[in-house]
Amino acid sequence: MKLSCCMVLKNEGQTIYRCLDSLKSFVNEFIIGIDDKTSDNTKEEVNRFISDNSLESICNLYDYKWNDSFAEARNIGMDKATGDYILIMDGHEYFPEKLFSITENRELPVIELIPKILAKIEEEKSHESFLMLYQQPFVGQMPNNYFLQPRIYSNGIGKDGKNKLRFGRAAHNVIRNSDPEKSIHFPEIMLLHDAPKDNRHERAEQRAKMNVKQLKGDLKKNSKDTRAYFYLGNTYMEVKDHEKAAEAFEKYLTIDRPNTEEKYQVNFHLGICYRELKKKRLAYDAFYRAVRISPRRRDAYLLIGDMFTDDERHEEALHSYNSALLIKPECSRMFSNGAAHTWMPYQRAAYAYKELGDYQKAIAHIRRAQRYVQTPEWDEFVDSMTKKKKNVLIIDSIGSFTKPFVEHFKTKYNVVTTKKYDRYLAEWADCIWQEWADGNLAENICPEKTIVRIHGYEAYTNMRMLQQIEWGKFKSVVFVAQHIRDMFPMPSLNGQVRVIQNGVDTDKFFIKNSSRDKKNVGIAGYMNVKKNPMRLAKYIKENPNLNFHLRIEWQDPFLKHSFEYEVKDCKNIIAHGRYDDLNDFWNQMAYVISTSDIESFSFNIAEAMACGCHPIVYPWRGAENIWPKDSFIKSSKLNLDASRSMIEEREYIKQNYPLSRTIDDMELELTK
């Protein structure tokens, strides 16, 4: 297969060498026409390329006189081509070695793939082969627009069996005599359209003058030429004449046409025009028509979101942006916005989240946008919310255990809480606090900035899993009690391990009622097998003179059934519903009882003591290092003779387990 490249040039001196250099490995013939009005060094640069690469034998360089027709200029060159196929190029375009593909969401080796698609074109005997055109201006590698455009044409006889494929319409390149059934799309081959800024302005003015005249001429011949109205509207848009552009698009829509991608584009561009003209209702209508025609394109959703943002309707804006994010970029022959299909929905959603006060999601979304593009503005956006504060992610699968110190940390750090590990939040965080050594650890990709706090539950139930974890990779490991640490076979890990005991908020739990029935014994919290409810049942049965107040939630229905059967004849049980204010519950009790076999601390005891209750504790392993020695149960027949006052019980908690100390120790781990 012989491939000829045909191009017509005017003032392309800044970019033509780059263009030709990207073609030399696969083009077999260069047909290059140079406009006789060219005023820069275009011809010199072409000759330099030919000389540098010794390509004189395959280059046909000629001068031509511009006659206000792109079709005529293209066809002159195509008639000179001797190749089986013709590649049409502009002097400011080029094929990159490799580039990020929006539709594939990965980098592709463009030049390496071209010989493969040329073989496919020859095999299929294609008439028109479409490549993916990326148009300037670029933000990073992301184009302003991208779309499939025919660029490689057969140089043989077309569908009429007589004539070759050649261009028609003077203002816009439209190929004639091509068989649509013989077209192929190659979105993996990206062609960059990247003219210098001064050339862009000159060409825009040239197109505006020439296109308007020629397109109006086409419409005089055929007043229902929808393609002419489409191009006319686009031309007026390019020069910011939105009134005339809207008029052209509205005339297009008066003609009965099926819902095509072109019709989507007309409505989308019409929406842009009306938005610029401050005709808000008409803009919304046009964008929503576009969405109905093609709901699998992001562009209209984004501009609907932008209009909601203009009106400070941020929740509705966010809905539109998130709708866009659900759509995968697709290949199209119509313009698709590069930003819309990469970074822009994330950036727009981030700004909406900020307006709604959700700084964590705002930062997470701007980080996603930064995977495509890096800008100082976005770094400033993050700084405006973080103010250089540390980002702390707290993972707590239950939620209640970290709640007291989350509120404190939020006054100093940017804090996000979650029950399930999230890799994006983990990347955002400077430090991760993971409460419970549970299944979330298996997904942790950032152990070096993670602090894990281990409770009694994991030590007793997940020991096998814990023994398989490489603890040396973690920032530190915290245990809630020394006896839990002692039962865990972990080396010192160079100071990475420490004990931080639980603490009680004594401002939340306090004595407000000093006159209590001394027969009242309370227990509160979740009831499960490790709390040993059958032992509690035994104490209830053997102490009928005491009133047992149960403010409990059962986690095992079988245990609940067994317990209720065991105490069915007892008259000394008072069942309480769930108290939002536990302080009120404990201020009715004289004693707190714990019948557990296993505990690491027992908030049930600590919170009650802060309210002045006297503890009655079954001596589980480690209890002797936490609670007063005279509080331990020696017999199922309870002898309630408190040796300390209510104030002394409260002081025991304030001195040994204040929440402020726990928070300070945790903060030290976070910041070291």
| CATH number, residue 609 | 3.40.50.2000
Q: Is residue 286 part of a domain?
A: no
Q: Is residue 312 part of a domain?
A: no
Q: Are residues 425 and 562 both part of a single domain?
A: no
Angle at 216 between CA 212 and CA 220, to 5 degrees: 175
Report the alpha-carbon distance of residue 406 to residue 409 in Å, rounded.
5
Q: What is the mean pLDDT of residues 14-19?
A: 95
Per residue in 67-91, pLDDT (tens digit) is 888 889 999 999 999 999 999 999 9
Identify the domain containing residue 549 by its residue range: 520-656
DSSP E strands in 361-457: the ranges are 391-396, 414-418, 431-435, 450-454
Report the alpha-carbon distance of residue 350 to residue 180 in Å, rounded.
43
DSSP E strands in 51-170: the ranges are 59-64, 85-88, 93-94, 99-101, 106-108, 128-135, 145-154, 166-167
Report the alpha-carbon distance of residue 185 to residue 117 in Å, rounded.
10
Q: Are residues 38 and 175 both part of a single domain?
A: yes
Q: Is residue 583 part of a domain?
A: yes
Chain-centre distance for alpha carbon 508: 39
Residue 187, SS3?
strand
Per residue in 209-255, pLDDT (tens digit) is 667 878 888 888 999 999 889 989 988 998 889 999 999 999 999 99
pLDDT band per the 50, 70, 90 thresholds, residue 378: confident
Per residue in 270-304, pLDDT (tens digit) is 999 999 999 999 999 999 999 999 998 999 999 99
Q: Are residues 114 and 3 both part of a single domain?
A: yes
Q: Are residues 633 and 534 both part of a single domain?
A: yes
Residues whose CB falls within 8 Å of the CB of residue 281, separated by 6 or more in sequence, listed in order: none
Q: Is residue 635 part of a domain?
A: yes
> Looking at the DSSP assignment, which residues form a beta bridge with residue 33?
8, 62
Q: How far is CA 165 from CA 5, 153, 418, 470, in A?
A: 15, 7, 62, 67
Q: Are residues 466 and 567 both part of a single domain?
A: no
Structure tokens at 59: 């280059």
Q: Which has more pLDDT, 339 or 489?
A: 339
Look at the alpha carbons of 437, 440, 443, 444 in this order and tell me if their dihedral is positive or negative.
negative
Using alpha carbons, select from 272, 260, 229 the residue that is nearest to residue 333.
260
Q: Are residues 531 and 650 both part of a single domain?
A: yes
User: Poorest-confidence range of 33-47, 172-186, 375-389, 425-439?
Assistant: 375-389
Report the alpha-carbon distance of residue 184 to residue 186 in Å, rounded.
7
Report the alpha-carbon distance of residue 374 to residue 344 in Å, rounded.
12
User: Poorest-confidence range of 26-35, 293-302, 532-541, 662-671?
Assistant: 662-671
Q: Are residues 437 and 530 both part of a single domain?
A: no
CA atoms within 13 A on the CB side of 630: 8
Q: Which of 132, 164, 195 is the last residue of a domain?
A: 195
DSSP E strands in 288-388: the ranges are 336-337
Q: Is residue 562 part of a domain?
A: yes
Using alpha carbons, select from 637, 635, 644 the residue that is nearest to residue 615.
644
Residues whose CB falls within 8 Å of the CB of residue 173, separated by 6 or more in sequence, listed in order: 70, 71, 74, 88, 167
Q: Are residues 475 and 571 both part of a single domain?
A: no
Question: Residue 591 — φ and ψ, nearest 5°?
Answer: -130, 155
* For the chain, percent of residues with pLDDT exceeding 70: 96
Using alpha carbons, select from 289, 214, 280 the residue that is nearest to residue 249.
289
0.95 surpassed by pTM: no
Residues whose CB falls within 8 Å of the CB of residue 49, separated by 6 or more in sequence, listed in order: 16, 17, 20, 21, 55
In angstroms, the first-to-last Cα distance of the chain is 67
CA atoms within 13 A on the CB side of 69: 12
Q: Are residues 525 and 415 both part of a single domain?
A: no
Q: Is residue 243 part of a domain?
A: no
Structure tokens at 626: 């936490």
DSSP E strands in 199-238: the ranges are none
Per residue in 481-529, pLDDT (tens digit) is 999 888 876 655 566 888 999 999 999 999 998 899 999 999 999 899 9
Counted domains in the chain: 3
Q: Are residues 492 and 525 both part of a single domain?
A: no
Q: Which has more pLDDT, 348 or 487?
A: 348
Look at the alpha carbons of 167, 168, 170, 174 in this order and tell me if their dihedral is positive or negative.
negative
Average pLDDT over the chain, rounded to an integer? 89
CB 5 within 8 A of CB 77: no
Per residue in 533-565, pLDDT (tens digit) is 999 999 999 999 999 999 999 999 999 999 999
Whether the per-residue pLDDT at 202 is higher than 70: the answer is: no
Whether the per-residue pLDDT at 387 is higher than 70: the answer is: no
Q: What is the mean pLDDT of residues 310-328?
A: 94
Q: Are residues 540 and 474 both part of a single domain?
A: no
Given the structure tokens 């000759």, which residue do they identify? 47
How many residues in total does the chain contain? 672
Q: What is the mean pLDDT of residues 609-614?
A: 96
CB 430 within 8 A of CB 392: yes
Q: Are residues 174 and 27 both part of a single domain?
A: yes
Q: Which has more pLDDT, 482 or 200?
A: 482
